[in-house]
Amino acid sequence: MGKKLFEGIYKFKNQDFEKYKDIFEKLKDKQNPHTLFIGCSDSRIIPDLIIKTMPGELFTVRNIANIVPPYRDTQEYVATTSAIEYAVLVLNVENIVVCGHSNCGGCYSALHKENLENIPHVKKWIELIEPSVDYAKKICIENNELKLEMAVEQINIVNQIKNLLTYPFVKERFEDGKLNIYGWYYVIDTGDIYNYDMEDGTFKLIT
C-alpha cells in the first residue's frame, strides 16, 4: 500500500499542482484563510471536498471527535488550542466551523469506555466528551443505541461551540460580529450537512 502514497505524489505534482499552479504561486509567501475548520480526524471527512474550497482557504484542525478543549485546559491540550489561537489572533479568520459526523468512532468510544483500556492517550482525550454523553443519556429515553450515538455526536458539536466561547479572544470577536461560528453535522452515507441554529437549538439541513 505504500506504493499508492508515492503514486499519489506523482499524480499531484503532474496533474493537480499544474492545474492550480497560479494559486500556489500566490500562496508561496503567505496564507490568508477565511475559515478555521475544526473537524474529526476520521479518514472519511475531507473538508475541501465537502465545502469545495481551494488551497489557501481553510486553516484546518483535525483531532478525534472534533474536540475543542475548554480554555482552562490550554496547558494540557496545547495542539488544538494553539491552532485556534493562531487562526484567530494571527490569521484573523472570519469563520470557525466545528464539524462532527455520523458514525463517529470517538463518540462511540465515549459511550463504550471499556474498549479504551489499551489506548490510554485516547482514553484521556475522550474524557472531554463525557458531558455530551451524560446529557445524551438524560434526553434519550428510548433504548435505541443508534439514536443515542447520534445524540452524542450532535450534542458534542454544541458543546465544542460552548468551549470555543470560553476563549476570551474568540468570545470577544464573536460578540462584536467579527467572527462567525458554525456547528455542522455531516452524514457520511447521504452527504447531507446540518447546521446548528443557535437561536432555536436545532440542527437544520443545509439546502
Residue pointed to by grid coordinates 460552548: 162
Average pLDDT over residues 195-207: 96
Average pLDDT over residues 105-111: 95
| pLDDT value for 77 | 83
Per-residue pLDDT of 73-86, as tens digits, reads 667 789 999 999 99
Contact 98, 183 (CB under 8 A): yes
- First-to-final CA distance of the chain: 38
Query: Which residue segments constitute the domains of the chain, with CATH numbers given?
Result: 34-205 (3.40.1050.10)
Contact 91, 31 (CB under 8 A): yes
Contact 88, 179 (CB under 8 A): yes
Percent of the chain surpassing pLDDT 90: 90
| pLDDT value for 167 | 97
| pLDDT value for 172 | 98
Q: Per-residue confidence at 2, pLDDT binned at 50, 70, 90?
A: confident
The number of residues in the chain equals 207
* 146, pLDDT greater than 90: no
Q: Per-residue confidence at 1, pLDDT binned at 50, 70, 90?
A: low
Q: Which whole-number Å values give the CA distances from 148 to 37, 141, 151, 198, 203, in the listed order?
A: 26, 9, 5, 21, 16
Per-residue pLDDT of 10-69, as tens digits, reads 999 999 999 999 999 999 999 999 999 999 999 999 999 999 999 999 999 999 999 999
* 142, pLDDT greater than 80: no
